[in-house]
Amino acid sequence: MTDLYNDIRPYSDHEVSSVVDTLVSDNEFIDTLVALSGNRIAKWMPGLVRLFARRTMKSQLAGVRTVDGFQALVKPRLDRVVEATSYFSYSGVEQLDPEVSYLFVSNHRDIVMDSAYANSVLVVEGHRTAQIAIGDNLLQKPWVSHLMRINKSFIVKRSLSGPKQQLAASKQLANFMRKAIVENQGPLWIAQREGRAKDGNDRTEAAVLKMLTLSRDKAFESQDEVLGKLNIVPLTISYEIDPCDAMKARELVCGAGYEKAPFEDLESIAQGIQGQKGHVHIHFGTPLNQPSLSVLEAVSSIDNAMAKNYRLFKTNFWACEALGHAIDGSDRDAAQASITQSAFIARFDELSEAERQQVLKIYARPVLNLMASKDRV
């Protein structure tokens, strides 16, 4: 039988052993693990450290034969990252059925940690882990692609240039996701827009939802009926501190003229995992379960859920005040903080004034979005 999704789907259990062997033999993968571990000896004896790291990794992966087995191996490392967060909390998951496959449409602030925090909650609450959408722009190294796909990631082709190629890739992705939901293969996670919301503005791109409707059977379904069958759940993640805030501000100030450095996304991934995040909260919204759901209705519902369910911290209100916005002092005082106001502002001392203004706008945006959503009611 032809595998229509072979180039984008997560790896299956029968592929795990060969993928593990490929990873262990990849020098760049081993060197990256060594670099992330902070091993100082590697600078002076890279060959010896690489040999030791490869043997250690081979030993750890020796018994891994399934995707679940690989995720079980990764889980303690993910748990340590979550535990290192100043405070992590979640809400809303109690309204979800562990036996149902949902499509989580999430705001997107961090390349790896957004979905990692979501999966951490799902595991704790007895749900299956989600298959995660990842853009092929992030898969610049073969080992990165292998690592993501063995960890239940599926690929979004963003690097195609021709309209026909783009349309074919979108249909393939829509059909893959529809099949996963219909066959109850477990939940899926996608971002509400292409790429991270570097400006802090969590707005759903209609094109993302329109893509999902490409799976419809034109003879029997309307676009609205397709979205109503996908068990869409708005997912909102809130960071008190964005570990990549300065990097995002610099890029936004440069605008269209900004050029990414080689492997800059990998640096963002490392910073997102290791950097200070303060309090992180994730909220699982109410499923958009209805027989018919238009693209515009879905966009509006998701955006309103994002604005209302975003956990505001004092850092958000401090940024608003620094920019001269009028805020409700009682809301600010009720918000939580793991950092002092002076320490928060000091994070941006080395930025230019334009970059400082931009980073404050990133933190202020969720407050402004909530105020705007209240005005629309």
Indicate the domain borders of the chain: 66-243+255-306, 312-377
Does 218 have pLDDT greater than 90? no
Total residues belonging to the chain: 377
Mean residue pLDDT of the chain comes to 92
- C-alpha 247/C-alpha 354 separation (Å) is 13
Does 38 have pLDDT greater than 80? no
pLDDT tens sequence across 269-291: 889 998 999 999 999 999 998 88
pLDDT given for residue 248 in this prediction:
96
Does 368 have pLDDT greater than 70? yes
What residues does 237 pair with on adjacent strands? Answer: 282
pLDDT tens sequence across 157-191: 998 888 999 999 999 999 999 999 999 999 999 99
Q: Report phi then psi at 152, rounded to 5.
A: 70, 35
- Dmax over Cα atoms in the chain, in whole Å? 66
Share of the chain above pLDDT 90, in %: 74
Compare 233 and 51 and report the one with higher pLDDT: 233
pLDDT given for residue 257 in this prediction:
85
Please give the model's pTM, rounded to 2 decimal places.
0.93
pLDDT given for residue 199 in this prediction:
96
| E strands, 116-158, in order | 131-135, 153-156
pLDDT given for residue 67 in this prediction:
96
- C-alpha 10/C-alpha 150 separation (Å) is 6
Confidence of residue 4 (pLDDT cuts 50, 70, 90): very high
Candidates 287, 271, 171; CA nearest to 230 is 287
Q: Report the chain's terminal Cα–Cα distance, integer Å.
A: 52
Q: Is the dihedral of CA 177, 180, 182, 185 positive or negative?
A: negative
pLDDT tens sequence across 122-141: 999 999 999 999 999 889 88
Confidence of residue 81 (pLDDT cuts 50, 70, 90): confident
Structure tokens at 240: 């008190």
pLDDT tens sequence across 92-123: 999 999 999 999 999 999 999 999 999 999 99
